Structure 1
């Protein structure tokens, strides 16, 4: 303790007004209360993140569709060598002419793929406005996208009312208050914590009392209070001045002399800390409802001050065009690629319709009708 400080230590205290006392208190509380990041006792459970969408099905479809554009290109090249020249057949009285079918379906499929690829590319490119090519749809409307997205988030996804509702439904405040109370009860019952806290209190009192500036301020304050209290009491004021005269000290010096004895008195009376720590958990538990209410009101006040729309919008506005593109592509890359390759499939189907409209439409109607019927039945079964 600092009750018997050397001259060098006292000099060091005066040179450094703070003397790192509050840093010591912070370290003391962190060590005993378990605020260290590595201490998992009593720590709050991390919220489980939402399960990521299953990508296996998406990737499986994508892997099936990927070879189609290359296959169409190969068929297109092959059509210059051979394309069912002079081939024909009859189907239920319908004369089918196969000559040129490979080129028709391959060209239609590649057009479908290139159309979708161009449309998706034009969403993002060019990043910067060009004299003739213009600018991609998303970069050109970045400000509007930021505003609309922020508005949607603040109105429908995250808003103060929803946050307050979730806090109320989860009863998080009362649950964490109980955990904190249990932790405080365990810590305050440890003798090591009590000894360290007493030592810090005595050190801090000793540091303050040995500071001449602090003593001057306290004595001046006490003297002012005494003069105000004895303003109309002439007898008591005369007795106090007489006592001071016989001691050979001014009243201010007398008060400062008493202050120097405070550390010794504090060391004798430090046992009150044990009584206070014994009563602390009970006081917290007794006022648990008020504590929960105060914390909840504080959280609500902070939530109401939170402008979600401005926060999201300002954050999105800081994104450059390339970062915004990466943000969208990372979330929708598989879907966008699937759309590109589906363009090749739909283009190929369109090629069959161009080749033989009536027969192709009949077969496609039956095929798609069967697929939709099976899908509907499976969906109802799962539901």
Structure 2
């Protein structure tokens, strides 16, 4: 009989301990809302975590900013060579993927939300180019062309004049020595002597127009081939080049004409985007050397500069993002039922052990009570 009494007290103690711990665990989350009997609020409702949700959200936000996601930690991450390498590999992979995708430029623009036709693109280039040219002209209206060229360009232009005069000399000699120039010389002689009356007719009949042309043409060729002739051409070109260098922008604009400038800008747009150009894949637009150069030179430089910029502005960026407020708002809006499920999925074994420990302690207390009852009786 005494044994059954002790066993009964052990069982009761174990049940009380286990059930008490189980209820305590559940009361961490439940009930989710406060319960009322009439106007009287039932004690311990809602559960501990729902009741302290706002305070928990604030503490989590502070913990994340102060210990988990810190500017110093992000700086170290960005300074890490592995991060830059992974970023470079990712950009290179995406660039090659885009280049070899056989997608047309129009489909690529469509994928990023840009709907544009070739006519619209040419019109945009024309309008943009015209606006920039007009702005440049208005800004530099009183400046001369020389102001836009550095000393290196001016030095190159002097060499270019020498080469140009030599080229023109050769072309001029070739032309003057040809049949077309002889015919022109003959026509000039005939027109000249024909206007001199009797004296001109006498010379023409005595020497003959063909004879005069045959004598004059070699003289012209000889002079055109001479160093003096080349120097004369060089002086003429240099003189005209100096005039052009000293012309003001408005004078050059007037000389070229607004209509010609407009046509030139339109021609550039048309040459860049002829009909059907937008429907061609990138492999037809760009040679392989350009994506290779982009990946090998431009991308590493951009990644380094972007990382340096982010590192330098990390503190300001964190202040602007207000990560603590973001975490607090997200935690405060997170469903309690989902929090409970998440915690139980992670710690269900530990919670069971706590329940079993409660039952064990309750059973031990029941055993001790039973022993005392037996001793006292």
Task: Please report the TM-score for the alignment, with normalisation by the length of structure 2.
Answer: 0.52
Q: Residue in 1 aligned with 2:61?
A: 150
2:236 paired with 1:252: no
Distance in 1, Cα, partners of 2:252 & 2:336: 84
Distance in 2, Cα, partners of 1:200 & 1:332: 48
Q: CA deviation at 1:218?
A: 3.8
Higher relative contact order (CA 8 A, sep 6+): 2
Q: 2:142 aligns with which of 231, 253, 262?
A: 231
Distance in 2, Cα, partners of 1:191 & 1:143: 50
Q: CA deviation at 1:137?
A: 1.8
Greater helix proportion = 2
SS in 2 for 1:133: coil
Q: Is the 8 A contact 2:122 2:273 kept in 1?
A: no
Give structure 1 stretches of 5+ with no counterpart: 1-84, 86-96, 245-250, 360-383
Q: Is the 8 A contact 1:116 1:339 kept in 2?
A: yes
Q: Is the 8 A contact 1:109 1:344 kept in 2?
A: yes
Q: Residue in 2 aligned with 1:47?
A: none
Distance in 2, Cα, partners of 1:217 & 1:99: 100
Q: CA deviation at 1:319?
A: 2.6
Q: Is the 8 A contact 2:87 2:303 kept in 1?
A: no
Q: Residue in 2 aligned with 1:295?
A: 306
Q: Residue in 1 aligned with 2:43?
A: 133
Give the 3 Å change call, closer, same or farther, for CA 260–354 of structure 1 in structure 2.
Answer: same
Distance in 2, Cα, partners of 1:344 & 1:272: 77
Give the 3 Å change call, closer, same or farther, for CA 283–107 of structure 1 in structure 2.
Answer: closer
Give the 3 Å change call, closer, same or farther, for CA 101–229 of structure 1 in structure 2.
Answer: closer
Q: 2:363 aligns with which of 339, 348, 352?
A: 348
Q: Residue in 2 aligned with 1:100?
A: 5
Q: Residue in 2 aligned with 1:337?
A: 352
Aligned length: 248
Give the 3 Å change call, closer, same or farther, for CA 158–239 of structure 1 in structure 2.
Answer: closer
Distance in 2, Cα, partners of 1:323 & 1:128: 15
2:180 paired with 1:174: no
Q: Is the 8 A contact 2:29 2:50 kept in 1?
A: yes
Give the 3 Å change call, closer, same or farther, for CA 216–151 of structure 1 in structure 2.
Answer: closer
Give structure 2 stretches of 5+ with no counterpart: 36-40, 110-115, 145-245, 278-282
Aligned pairs (5 A) from 1:1-383: 85=1, 97-98=2-3, 100-130=5-35, 131-135=41-45, 136-169=47-80, 171-178=82-89, 180-181=91-92, 184=95, 207-210=120-123, 215=126, 218-219=129-130, 221-231=132-142, 237=250, 241=254, 243=255, 251-263=257-269, 265-266=271-272, 278=289, 281-282=292-293, 284-286=295-297, 290-300=301-311, 301=313, 304-305=317-318, 306-356=321-371
Give the 3 Å change call, closer, same or farther, for CA 239–110 of structure 1 in structure 2.
Answer: closer
Distance in 1, Cα, partners of 2:107 & 2:329: 49
Q: CA deviation at 1:124?
A: 2.5
Distance in 2, Cα, partners of 1:198 & 1:127: 54
**Structure exhibiting the larger radius of gyration computed from Cα positions:** 2
Q: CA deviation at 1:177?
A: 1.0
Distance in 2, Cα, partners of 1:99 & 1:140: 44
Q: Is the 8 A contact 1:126 1:133 kept in 2?
A: no
Distance in 1, Cα, partners of 2:258 & 2:330: 60
SS in 2 for 1:117: helix
Distance in 1, Cα, partners of 2:294 & 2:253: 41
Q: CA deviation at 1:339?
A: 1.6
Give the 3 Å change call, closer, same or farther, for CA 205–226 of structure 1 in structure 2.
Answer: farther
Q: Is the 8 A contact 1:113 1:344 kept in 2?
A: yes
SS in 1 for 2:42: coil
Distance in 2, Cα, partners of 1:223 & 1:113: 87
Task: Please report the TM-score for the alignment, with normalisation by the length of structure 1.
Answer: 0.51
